[in-house]
Amino acid sequence: MKADPSRQRKLLDLQAIDTRLDQIAHARHTLPEIPRLAELEQQAAELRTKVVRAETELSDVQREVAKAEADVQQVRDRAARDQSRLDSGVGTAKDLQAIQHELTSLARRQSELEDLELEVMERAEQTESTAARLQGEEEALGSEIAEVTAARDARLAELAADEEQAKAPRAGAVGQVGDDLVALYEKIRATTGGVAAAPLERRRCGGCQLDLNPVDLSKIAKAAPDEVIRCEECRRILVRTPESGL
């Protein structure tokens, strides 16, 4: 391929632009906030499951507390009514004796129910404490996620601005290089990890960083100025410069 030397030198400008764009793309995909957010969101999902479980357990035990309180109150009310009848002295001796026996049974039953009520209330207190702790952890985790998300978004905005600034001169550089040489350049870029054009400086390829042997250097020195030279090692386009050492 033939290409005016000035067009070949413009390749280095295009390569510099594309290298910067590649760096920006790499930075965008390797932001430390990205894996950190994934980790935090996983923790948040696991914590949400624990919170829901704790809240469900708390709701269940609160119903148990309400039932235990109602059962105790029911026995207390019945005992109060019996005590009132007993205190009134109305009824036969047999009736009053039966009431007395029932009061004794009710007192025993009330004691049992109050013990159960206390146990349920203690369990409810523990469950409520666990739910509150987990809710606090969830709130703190949510704040951290918000902070990391904000940091990620800010960094992405910076990279987007850098990308726009770096991309601005690319169309002009492409136009100066020409379609034929750009086509070759893009084809090489696709197979060399992004670097397709490199300067030949001090007898070294700026792409693979290998010194050219005397035979290759001699061929390049004899080549026409408009001939497109390729590195024999990495196959990148070699752009001759005043520092080539030919």
Strand 237-240 to strand 197-201: parallel, antiparallel, or no bridges (unpaired)? parallel
Task: Name the 3-class secondary structure at 205.
Answer: strand
Residue with tokens 């919170």: 51
Question: Packing angle between helix 179-191 and helix 5-29, nearest 10 degrees?
Answer: 40
Strand stretches in 80-207, DSSP E: 197-201, 204-205
pLDDT greater than 90 at residue 163? yes
Task: Name the 3-class secondary structure at 83.
Answer: helix
Q: Which residues contact 178 (CB under 8 A, 6 or more apart)?
A: 3, 7
pLDDT number for residue 245: 76
Determine the average pLDDT of the residues in 191-196.
92
Determine the average pLDDT of the residues in 166-195.
93
- Per-residue pLDDT of 45-70, as tens digits, reads 999 999 999 999 999 999 999 999 99
Taken in order of first residue, the domains within the chain and their CATH numbers are 5-23+169-240 (1.10.287.1490), 27-167 (1.10.287.1700)
φ/ψ of 102, rounded to 5, equals: -65, -40
- Per-residue pLDDT of 98-142, as tens digits, reads 988 999 899 999 999 999 999 999 999 999 999 999 999 999 999
Determine the average pLDDT of the residues in 171-187.
93
pLDDT number for residue 3: 65
The model's confidence at residue 16, banded by pLDDT at 50, 70 and 90, is very high
Taking a C-beta distance cutoff of 8 angstroms, is the pair 188, 228 a contact?
no
Taking a C-beta distance cutoff of 8 angstroms, is the pair 206, 197 a contact?
no
pLDDT greater than 70 at residue 22? yes
Residue with tokens 């050492």: 245
Closest C-alpha to 202, from 236, 235, 242, 237: 242
d(CA 86, CA 75): 16
**Which residues on neighbouring strands pair with residue 229, listed in sequence order?**
238
pLDDT greater than 90 at residue 7? no
DSSP state of 143: H
d(CA 168, CA 162): 10
pLDDT greater than 80 at residue 27? yes
pLDDT number for residue 6: 85
Question: Packing angle between helix 170-177 and helix 179-191, nearest 10 degrees?
Answer: 110
pLDDT greater than 70 at residue 240? yes
